[in-house]
C-alpha cells in the first residue's frame, strides 16, 4: 500500500506525516508538496518526497504515480480551490488511486456566511461523490490552534470583542485531525463515510473568557458587537479589508450555529478523547501570556 499526502509541508500535512510514520513503513509514504526542500527531514527518515503543484496538473501525474490511497488536504487558495481540487481528483483517477480522503469543514454549504471558505469544500465533496473513486470526507471543526491569537489579544486587553453572540465553537486540535486522517488512510471500512471531526466541548464566548481568565489570572470579559461595529473596530486598528470581511463573516456563521457541531467521531476512531482547548492553550501558555 502506497499512501500519498498532498500539501505535506503545511501544518496539518506535517502532522499527518508524523502519524503515518508511526503506523506504516516509511517507504509506503509519499509526501507531495510544491516545496520538497521543506520536507528534507521526512526524506531522511525514509519517506518519499515528490514535487506536485495543483496549479500545474501535469506535475500531479508523476506525484501520484503508484499510489493506492491519497489524503487530499484542502488548499488555502480561496477562489482557486475548486479548480485545484478537481485537478488532484482527476490525476488520482488517472493514476489508479483507489481511495481519496478529503479534508473538509463542518457545514460546507452555500448558506454558510463564510462564503467560499465553506462552499468550495462542499463542491469538492460533490466532485468526489461523482468521481467513481472510493472516498471518505473528514469535516473538521475550528482548529484549536487558531484560537490562540484572539485569546492572547483578549487577555492583553481584558476583553473578548466579538460578533459571535451566544454562538458556540467546538475547537479541535490539528494533531487530532492528523491522527484521524492517518487512521482513515491506513485502515479499512471508511469508504463512503463523512466524518465530523470535532472537539468534545462546545464553547460560547462566555465559556471562552472564563477559560482565558482561569489560564491567565487576568479578568477577561465579553464585549458583544453587531457586525458593522466589529468591522469598524477592526478597520480602525488597520486590519486589511479582506481580513475584516472574513472575520466578520466567521463571527456571523458562529452566531448562526454553523460551527456548533460536536460529535464523538474522533474518539470512536482513535480510542481516546480529543485534546481539549484548555490543553492546547496550556501547551502555548508562553505565547498566550507574552503580550501585555
Question: What's the pLDDT at 291?
Answer: 56
SS3 call for 139: strand
> Do both 136 and 146 map to the same domain?
no
Same domain membership, residue 113 and residue 22? yes
Q: Are 80 and 161 found together in one domain?
A: no
What pLDDT score does 287 carry? 80
Q: What is the mean pLDDT of the chain?
A: 96
* Residue 1 pLDDT level (bands cut at 50, 70, 90): confident
In a domain, 280, yes or no: yes
> Does any domain span residue 114?
yes
Contact at 8 Å (CB) between 195 and 184?
yes
Say if residue 149 is in the same domain as residue 292.
yes
Whether residue 21 lies inside any domain: the answer is yes
The model carries a pTM of 0.95
**Domain edge (last residue) among 140, 161, 188:** 140
pLDDT at 288: 83
Same domain for 131 and 154, yes or no, is no
Q: pLDDT digits over 193-234, tens only? A: 999 999 999 999 999 999 999 999 999 999 999 999 999 999
Here the cell at position 39 is: 520536507
Q: In which domain, by residue range, is 97 found?
A: 3-140
Q: Domain check: are 76 and 167 in the same one?
A: no
Q: Please write the tens of the pLDDT for every residue from 122-178.
A: 999 999 999 999 999 999 999 999 999 999 999 999 999 999 999 999 999 999 999
* Residues 79 and 9 placed together within one structural domain of the fold: yes
Residue where a domain stops, chosen among 140, 160, 192: 140
Q: Do 38 and 44 contact (CB within 8 A), yes or no?
A: no
Residue 193 is assigned to a structural domain of this protein: no
Is residue 268 one of the residues assigned to a domain?
no
Kindly report the CATH number assigned to the domain that includes residue 224: 3.90.25.10
Cβ within 8 Å of residue 159, ≥6 positions away: 220, 221, 222, 223
Separation of alpha carbons 278 and 199, rounded Å: 11
Same domain, 89 and 101: yes
Let me know if residue 190 belongs to a domain.
no
According to the model, what pLDDT value does residue 258 have?
A: 97
Whether 43 and 95 map to the same domain: the answer is yes
68 and 151 part of one domain = no
- Last residue within a domain, chosen from 125, 140, 155: 140
Residue position matching grid coordinates 500531479: 60
In-domain check, residue 83: yes
What percentage of the chain carries pLDDT values higher than 90? 96
State residue 164's pLDDT score: 97
Q: Are residues 14 and 52 in the same domain?
A: yes
Average pLDDT for residues 261-272, to the nearest whole number? Answer: 98
The total of structural domains in the chain comes to 2
Q: Are residues 148 and 289 in the same domain?
A: yes
**How many CB atoms within 10 Å of residue 183?**
17
**In-domain check, residue 180:** no
DSSP H helices, the chain, are 11-21, 40-44, 57-64, 81-94, 116-130, 148-157, 174-186, 205-216, 227-236, 241-255, 265-270, 277-283, 285-288
pLDDT of residue 285: 86
pLDDT digits (tens, 9 = 90+) for 60-107: 999 999 999 999 999 999 999 999 999 999 999 999 999 999 999 999
Q: What is the pLDDT of residue 93?
A: 96
Amino acid at each position: 500500500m502506497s499512501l500519498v499526502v498532498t500539501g505535506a509541508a503545511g501544518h496539518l500535512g506535517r502532522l499527518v506525516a508524523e502519524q503515518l510514520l508511526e503506523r506504516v513503513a516509511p517507504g509506503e509514504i509519499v509526501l507531495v508538496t510544491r516545496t520538497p526542500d521543506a520536507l528534507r527531514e521526512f526524506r531522511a527518515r525514509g519517506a518519499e518526497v515528490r514535487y506536485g503543484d495543483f496549479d500545474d496538473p501535469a506535475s500531479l501525474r508523476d506525484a501520484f504515480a503508484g499510489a493506492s490511497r491519497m489524503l487530499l488536504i484542502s488548499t488555502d487558495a480561496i477562489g482557486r480551490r475548486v479548480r485545484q481540487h478537481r485537478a488532484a481528483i482527476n490525476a488520482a483517477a488517472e493514476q489508479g488511486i483507489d481511495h481519496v480522503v478529503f479534508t473538509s469543514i463542518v457545514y460546507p454549504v452555500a448558506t454558510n456566511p463564510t462564503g467560499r471558505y465553506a462552499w468550495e469544500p462542499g463542491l469538492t465533496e460533490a466532485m468526489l461523490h461523482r468521481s467513481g473513486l472510493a472516498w471518505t470526507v473528514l469535516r473538521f471543526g475550528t482548529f484549536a490552534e487558531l484560537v490562540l491569537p484572539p485569546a492572547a489579544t483578549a487577555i492583553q486587553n481584558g476583553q473578548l470583542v466579538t460578533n459571535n453572540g451566544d454562538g458556540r465553537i467546538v475547537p479541535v486540535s490539528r494533531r487530532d485531525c492528523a491522527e484521524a486522517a492517518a487512521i482513515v488512510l491506513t485502515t479499512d471500512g471508511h469508504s463512503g463515510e463523512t466524518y465530523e471531526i470535532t472537539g468534545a466541548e462546545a464553547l460560547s464566548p462566555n465559556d471562552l473568557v472564563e477559560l482565558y481568565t482561569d489560564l491567565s489570572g487576568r479578568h477577561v470579559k465579553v464585549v458583544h458587537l453587531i457586525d458593522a461595529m466589529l468591522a469598524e473596530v477592526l478597520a480602525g486598528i488597520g486590519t486589511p479589508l479582506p481580513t475584516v470581511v472574513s472575520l466578520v463573516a466567521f463571527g456571523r456563521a458562529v452566531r448562526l450555529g454553523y460551527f456548533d457541531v460536536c460529535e464523538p467521531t474522533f474518539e470512536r476512531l482513535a480510542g481516546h478523547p480529543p485534546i481539549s482547548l484548555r490543553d492546547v492553550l496550556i501547551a502555548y501558555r508562553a505565547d498566550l501570556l507574552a503580550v501585555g
